[in-house]
Copies of this chain bind each other. A is one copy, B any other.
Amino acid sequence: MRVAELSRRSGVPVPTIKYYLREGLLQPGELTSPNQARYGDEHVRRLKLVRALLDVGGLSVAAVRDVLETMANPGKSMFKVLGTVQHNLAGHVPAAEGEHHETASRIAHELVERHGWQIKPNSPPLDSLIASLGTLIELHGEDLLELLDAYADASQRIAAFDIDYTRRGTDRGDAVERMVIGTVVGDAILSALRRLAHENEAARRLHSG
C-alpha cells in the first residue's frame, strides 16, 4: 500500500508517519521509485505499537526507539524487553524530598521487604510510591498507612494475572503492546472499579442499617 493508505488504515496522519520514519520508529517501506515506497501490514502493526507507547504509555521518542531496539535484539529475553518498557512507562511522580521523605522511604522499603518483592533500588514506581506515601503522611498522618498491606496483596494478585496475560502475546510486539495498554488503561479501569466498589459497599451497609 502507499503511504496515504497506510495513514488511512492506521489512523496516523501522513506527516506524522514521515516523522516516525525519520526518527527510526517505523521501518522504511520498499522503494518502488525514488519518491515512492510500498508498505505492508507489518507497518500498520508497528504504527499501532508506536502510538500505544507514545500516546498511552507516555514514553518519549528516544524511549520508544530504545524499546524497539531491545525488541529487535534476539539476545534479549522477553522479560528484559518488558522491563525496558515498564521502566519507561509514564505515570510516576518523582519523589519530592519533602519533610516526610525519609519516613515515606522507610515505610516503602519495609513494605517491599515484608512482601518479599524483588525490586531494583532505582525502580521508578518505588519513587512514585514514596512520593504518594509522603503526600499521604502530610495530609493525614501515618494513620492511613494501615491499608498498605491490603493494597499490596491486591496488587500482587492483579500483577500475576497481568503478567500471564502479557505472556500470551503472539509475538514480542504484541506482548509489549498488551503490557503498555494493560498497565496504563488498567490504572484507569482499576480507579473506576474501586470507586464503583466503594459505592456498592456503602449502599450495601446503608441498607443493612
Interface residues of A (CB under 8 A from B): 48, 52, 56, 77, 79-80, 82-83, 86, 89, 91-93, 112, 115, 117-120, 123-126, 128-129, 131-133, 135-136, 139-140, 144, 146-148, 150-152, 154-163, 165, 177-178, 181-183, 185-207
* Set of chain B residues within 8 Å of A160, measured between Cβ atoms: 201
Q: Are A86 and B199 in contact (CB under 8 A)?
A: yes
State whether A183 touches B198 (Cβ < 8 A).
Answer: yes
Closest to A194 in B: B155
Once the chains are docked, how many angstroms separate the CA of A56 from the CA of B48?
34
- B128 engages A188 (CB within 8 Å): yes
Tally of this chain's copies: 2
A129-B202 CB under 8 A given contacts A157-B150, A159-B197: no
Complex contact B196–A117 (CB within 8 A): yes
Closest to A174 in B: B140
Secondary structure at the A interface, as helix, strand, loop or mixed, is helix
Known: A191-B91, A206-B77. A198 touches B154 (CB 8 A): no
The reply to whether B197 and A144 contact each other, CB–CB distance below 8 Å, is no
Task: State whether B200 touches A183 (Cβ < 8 A).
Answer: no
* Residue on B nearest A140 in the bound complex, by CB: B181
The list of the 6 closest CB pairs from A to B, nearest first, reads: A159-B197, A125-B195, A129-B192, A117-B200, A155-B193, A128-B192
Within 8 Å by CB of A129, from B89, B91, B181, B189, lies B189
- A128: B residues at CB distance < 8 A: 188, 191-192, 195
Closest chain B residue, CB of each to CB of A154: B154
Q: Are B181 and A136 in contact (CB under 8 A)?
A: yes
- Contact A197-B152, Cβ < 8 Å, known A82-B202, A129-B189, A136-B181: yes
